[in-house]
Amino acid sequence: MISNTKKLDIILGPVQKTLFLPVVARALESSKSTPMLFDKTAMQIVEKINYNFTKLISSITELSRIAWIVRSTCFDRLIRDFLRRYPGATVVNIGCGLDTTYERVDNGLVQWYDMDLPDVIELRKLFMNETKNRKFIAGSFLENSWYKKLGYPEHVLFIAGGVFYFYEEKVIRTFLIKLSLLFQSCELLFDVTSPSGVRATNRVLQKAGIYEKSFLKWGLKSTDTILSWSPRLRLLGKYYTYKQEGITMNFKNRILGRISDALDIQYIVHFKIRVDYKHINKFIHYKAKEK
C-alpha cells in the first residue's frame, strides 16, 4: 500500500527509466474511461514521484504501450487460472522491477515472491510492502541461494515479464534446465521476442535515452528451440500480442501489429515442466546435496 506522504525526489538513470516505462504505460492506460487494464497501484506510483514524465511518455510508441498492457492482461488471466486450479500455490515473479501483478491477482491464499536485484528491491520498497503472503527476494534469479526459500512447493508458477531477453540465450537455457532438475512440477510464463523484435525494441530504448548496456540481447526464432532444451518441457500456450481482445490502434499500427503476430516477432509463452520417475531421483539427489 502506498502511503499519502509527500512526493519522492528520484533521479531516473537509464536502469530506472527501463523500470518506469511499463509502469507509466499502465498508469496511462488506467486513466482512460474504458481501459484494457486498470492498475491503481501503477497510478499511485507515478503520482508519488516528483518527476516530469513528459519526455518519457513521448518516447512510448503506441505499439510498445499496447505490448506492455497486453502482457499484463495476459499474465493476469493465466495467473488467475493457475490459482483457480491451485489456490494456495506459489508464484515467483522473476525480475519483478516495479511490477504490480500481485496487487491485481492476489486471492488471499497464494504465496508470492517478488525477486530482483538488491537496488531494485530497495526502490520497490518505496512503493510496495511485504505481507504475510508476499515476500521480496533481493538477488539475481541466476543465483542458487533463493531456491531454499521457496521450500520446493508442489505447485509453483514462475513468471518473468520483460526479463529473459535481456540475457544471452545460453544463460536462460542453463536456468530453465536447472529449474527442470530442482522442481518436480512447475509452470513457466514469460514473454519472448524475435531477433528482429530485439532490434526494434532497442531502437525504442535508445530513443528514450537508455544506454546500450540495458538493450535486449536474446531473440528467439522458434519455441522449438526452448523445447529442445529438455524433454520435460511442454508448451501449454502461445499468446500473440496484437491478437488480444480490446485493443484499439490507428490503422498503420493495426497493420504493423498483424505483421508482428504473423512473423512471431513478439508473444507470450506458457510452459510446463512435467514429472517423470527418472527426474524424481535427480530431484532427491539435488535436495540431498543442499543439506
- Summarised one tens digit per residue, pLDDT across range 233-268 is 999 999 999 998 889 899 999 999 999 999 999 999
Which secondary structure element, helix H or strand E, spans residue 25, and what is its range? Answer: helix 14-30
CATH superfamily, region 14-290: Vaccinia Virus protein VP39 (3.40.50.150)
Percentage above 70 pLDDT, the chain: 90
Residue boundaries of the structural domains of the chain: 14-290
Give me the pLDDT at residue 283, please: 47
Which secondary structure element, helix H or strand E, spans residue 138, and what is its range? Answer: strand 134-138
Average pLDDT, the chain: 89
**DSSP letters spanning 193-218:** E-HHHHHHHHHHHHHTT--GGGS---
Q: What is the pLDDT of residues 43-53, one digit of tens each?
A: 999 999 988 88
- Say if pTM beats, i.e. exceeds, 0.85: yes
Dihedral pair phi/psi, residue 149, rounded to 5°: -60, -25
Cβ atoms of 50 and 15 within 8 Å: the answer is no
Distance CA 76, CA 104 (A): 7
